[in-house]
Amino acid sequence: MNKDLISKVAVVGAGQIGPDIALHFAKSLSSNNTKVIVLDISEAALEKAKAKAWKKIDKGVDTGAFKPAQAEQIKSALQFTADYNEVKGAQLVVEAATEDEIIKDKIFRQIEQLTDDNCVFLSNSSHMQPEVIFRNIKNKSRCLVAHYFFPAEINPVVEIVPGKESSTVLTNNLLDFYESIGKVPIKVRSSYGYAIDPVFEGLCQTAIMCFEKGWGNEKEIDAAAVKALGLGVGPFTALNLTGGNPITAHGLDECNKLLMPWFHTPAALHDKNNKKENWNTAQRGEKVELDPAKERKLVNEFRGAYFALTSYILDIGIVDINDFNMATELSLVIKPPFAFMNEIGIDKAYELVEQFCSAHKSFPFPEVLKAAKASGGWNLRDITTRVENNVFIVTIRRPKALNALNLNILKQIQHALEEVQNNSAIKGVVITGFGVKAFVSGADIGMLASLKTPEEGFDNSQTFQSVLNYIENYSKPIVCAMNGFAFGGGNELAMACTTRICRKGLNVLVCQPEVNLGFIPGAGGTQRLPRIVGIEKAAEILRTGRPVSCKEAEEIGLIYKRVEGNLVSEAVSIVNDIADGKLNIKHFSKEPLQFNTSPVSVDLGHLSKKIDDILVKAIYEGSKLNLREGLKLESQMFAECMKTDDMKIGLDNFKANGPKAKAAFVHH
């Protein structure tokens, strides 16, 4: 599905989540003049849904998220109606009605009469298998579940669940479509509750069982769960916020029948549900004190449950571990389970699950955890790989960090390239980023802030450079498909590739913002940029840390071309043309640059004069050397930054105040 070709989307259900789904579609697609219909048989529900959507849009204007004209465009795209005939002409219908198979079946059979056979049917079910929901639909190939998470216009995760007869091509297209409108979709095989809800509901069950056993009150148990798992809010608070008692009670009963006997609805949940009562949770700002022994007991219980539940989902084989690790963190606002187990140590995680399963006899010990312990931990990746038209495509996927680089990710890229280097069927490589906002937002600030000595800084720079040198000298062409902005290390990675292309219309494509943080580029930026765009232009860009638009990047030769259509497909075509000798891309010279210019005066504003002196030396003296020697000088100059007060000031300011706040540099 191409978002630019969708003229009408219909969302059926104006209750808890439907209006939020519609709002996200309107925000993402209104610039294409796409109409978004919200359909419900209740006029009262429609009026309430419209008021809710308008309030959120107006708040977006107040906070600066939308310009007034954009807000009006979003409002104009939305239509709230009880007339089912308005669904005619929709290319996509998302049902978000009550979790009742009879109601869902009735809705889709009615929609089937009003739409053509190419219209895609999605159900925002939180539990039910697509085979159940769409059992009476004639063309099941266009039917899938798309499970959103609360709140749907903000929470990025969508579980895409195909049924037995769903089209594989459509499934893959939906994954691309949701990525193109700013979501983080993952594919999950058909199973009751899919991948993430059994984890959420299992943690709620754990919290309620602790409450029933007298291990603490709701406030204490919530506080312990937050501390144990890094949750945004505790389980009891989450149930209150989402109105989740009824659906959780039903879900746990069904999980008991369809997944494993451990799942069940605790009596206390049945009681709250029957009385339509909320849990007694802490108010905003209220501090909850916990007895250390009680806290330790609850923390161990929650971690054991979390690790057991997520391992169990892997055991039943419905989801990729990397997809699951990422999506669980984003959807539930919780520590990523398998990375968390690696962090605390696989032996400790194993012990906690062992204790949990021993205390909960109906919970089988997960087989995958045994294998992980034998391997010394979970093998996780922040990249995805696939092959298209004889080209190996590497996608950097860290949506929470806007694909920021660290040494581990670079090593993953290098290892992936090594695996296909001698594969004669692979003509070349495309490197791109996940999503539409960032190719790579830069180097991981936490990694940079952890460097303590100039020696550590030099080694860090050299290690980064070694991977980029490997990419630069790869035996096959590598095209960087810049799907969004590339800051710092992202631009340095792109410059190491054979050539670069980007999406058209990016007002900010690249930037080397290191000077704003009190240091200089350390992964080749001071050496490759002058060789690509010329020393004067490179020096100005590097010393001011200003952004460069995609139009300017093309004009100065930093990128090969801007692309209006499918960026990755165009990159694949370019790789094949280079490999087949149809396109000759001239790479920059690695020899010393010949120039007579001296550093010109630059208005540094608030920027550090000391860091600028170091940067100027790296650029101008490094450019007089061959690339290998220039890169070594850059690493030495990066290490020099670590001797200054300004690097610490810049990093501390960034961590405390964000990227827009100007650091108070002292110039020494």
> Which positions are catalytic?
492, 514
Q: Which residue from 608, 605, 595, 596 is spatially nearest to 648, judged by alpha carbons? A: 608
Q: How many CB atoms lie within 10 A of CB 103?
A: 13
Give the contacts of 324 (CB within 8 A, at least 6 positions apart).
186, 195, 196, 310, 313, 314, 337, 338
Residue 429 is classified by DSSP as E
Helix, coil or strand: residue 197: helix
Instruction: Please tell me the total number of residues recorded for the chain in this structure.
Output: 668
Q: Which residue from 494, 487, 492, 555 is spatially nearest to 527, judged by alpha carbons? A: 492
Between CA 72 and CA 12 the distance in angstroms is 23
Between CA 118 and CA 62 the distance in angstroms is 40
Q: How many CB atoms lie within 10 A of CB 454?
A: 15
Provide DSSP, 560-577: SEEESS-HHHHHHHHHHH
* CB 474 within 8 Å of CB 218: no
Q: Which residue from 539, 396, 415, 422 is spatially nearest to 481, judged by alpha carbons? A: 396
Residue with tokens 């004069």: 609
Residue 485 is classified by DSSP as E
- What is the side-by-side strand order in the sheet with 438-440? 438-440, 485-487, 510-511
Provide DSSP, 121-171: EEE--SS--HHHHTTT-S-GGGEEEEEE-SSTTT--EEEEEE-TTS-HHHH
Backbone angles phi, psi at 60, to 5 degrees: -60, -35
Between CA 368 and CA 349 the distance in angstroms is 13
Helix, coil or strand: residue 430: strand
Give the contacts of 546 (CB within 8 A, at least 6 positions apart).
511, 540
Between CA 136 and CA 125 the distance in angstroms is 17
Helix, coil or strand: residue 607: coil
Between CA 426 and CA 387 the distance in angstroms is 8
Give the contacts of 151 (CB within 8 A, at least 6 positions apart).
20
